[in-house]
């Protein structure tokens, strides 16, 4: 378990959406310092946050951020992209771009910050997945989040002996810019952030932040037709 009070956290993609809600919630729970990263740190609006430039797909940018934030004990890999490339029709480069942001980006950041967290006595990493980690309805986005889920599970084993716990956050639609065009029930970013921090504090392996995530996770052991009714013969 990792105490939020007194911690030093870094939230990638911390200027809007779930990331901004996480920054606010961390301070509300007593975090000592929160680095909020963005490609343009001027977009970070929280008055107490420490803005930090970061492009998660750029190794030099990641290394520079880690050099500046040597006191981090909690890392939240929240930054992501939603390309939703079709595997048959979209340019392969679109698929690669999604994986660069959603899979390799968190990996680069994690590899850079593990020595930092370890040198500060251990701590916690939270990766933001999606219900679409478990159901292939969004092409490259689903695949990249499924790969991130697997990365998280592997890292949890690798980092336990080093005093670093790892939590995966799964959520469906959230009332943010990314889901603005979706006409479906949505969680608030504040609710998701609160559940994510509860998971860090309790040492949870996974946080399922809404009903749809809980339903889909429960259905993974069922016949594929249960998740993909469109496969049924007409």
Specify whether 228 is catalytic. Answer: no
| Residue 71 DSSP label | T
User: Which one is catalytic: 27, 35, 141, 186?
Assistant: 141
Specify whether 35 is catalytic. Answer: no
Q: In degrees to the nearest 10, what's the CA dihedral of 89, 92, 93, 98? A: 90
Q: DSSP secondary structure string, 151-187?
A: HHHHHHHHHGGGTEEEEEEE---BSSGGGTT--S--B
Q: What is the pLDDT of residues 81-97, one digit of tens each?
A: 999 999 999 999 999 99
**Which residues have CB under 8 Å from 104's CB, separation 6+?**
57
User: Which one is catalytic: 145, 160, 217, 228?
Assistant: 145
Helices (H) and strands (E) in the chain, counts: 8, 7
**Helix or strand (DSSP H, E) at 93:** helix 92-99
**Which residues have CB under 8 Å from 166's CB, separation 6+?**
124, 125, 126, 127, 152, 155, 156, 159, 205
Q: What is the pLDDT of residues 92-117, one digit of tens each?
A: 999 999 999 999 999 999 999 999 99
Q: Would you say 57 and 228 are in contact if contact means Cβ atoms under 8 Å apart? A: no
pLDDT at 226 over 90: no
What is the distance, to the nearest Å, from the Cα of residue 220 to the centroid of all Cα atoms in its chain?
21
Secondary structure (3-state) at 11: strand
**Which residues have CB under 8 Å from 14's CB, separation 6+?**
20, 22, 23, 34, 35, 36, 37, 38, 44, 46, 49, 78
Q: What is the pLDDT of residues 119-132, one digit of tens each?
A: 999 999 999 999 99
**Helix or strand (DSSP H, E) at 52:** strand 50-53
Q: What is the pLDDT of residues 30-64, one digit of tens each?
A: 999 999 999 999 999 999 999 999 999 999 999 99
Secondary structure (3-state) at 207: strand
């Amino acid at each position: 378990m990792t105490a939020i009070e007194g911690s030093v956290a870094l939230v990638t993609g911390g200027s809007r959406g779930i990331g901004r809600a996480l920054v606010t919630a961390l301070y509300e729970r007593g975090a000592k310092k929160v680095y909020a990263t963005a490609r343009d740190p001027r977009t970070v609006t929280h008055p107490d946050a420490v803005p930090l430039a970061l492009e998660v797909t750029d190794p030099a940018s990641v290394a520079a951020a880690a050099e500046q934030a040597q006191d981090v004990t909690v890392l939240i890999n929240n930054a992501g992209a939603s390309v939703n490339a079709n595997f048959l029709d979209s340019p392969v480069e679109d698929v690669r771009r999604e994986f660069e942001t959603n899979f390799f980006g968190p990996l680069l950041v994690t590899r850079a910050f593990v020595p930092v967290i370890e040198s500060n006595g251990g701590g916690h990493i939270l990766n933001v997945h999606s219900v679409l980690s478990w159901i292939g309805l969004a092409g490259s986005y689903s695949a990249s989040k499924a790969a991130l889920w697997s990365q998280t599970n592997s890292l949890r084993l690798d980092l336990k002996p080093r005093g670093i716990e790892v939590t995966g956050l799964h959520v469906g639609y959230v009332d943010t810019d990314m889901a603005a065009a979706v006409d479906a029930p949505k969680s608030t970013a504040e609710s998701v952030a609160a559940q994510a921090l509860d998971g860090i504090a309790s040492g949870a392996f996974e946080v399922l932040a809404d009903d749809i995530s809980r339903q889909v996770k429960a259905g993974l052991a069922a016949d594929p037709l249960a998740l993909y009714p469109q496969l049924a013969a007409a």
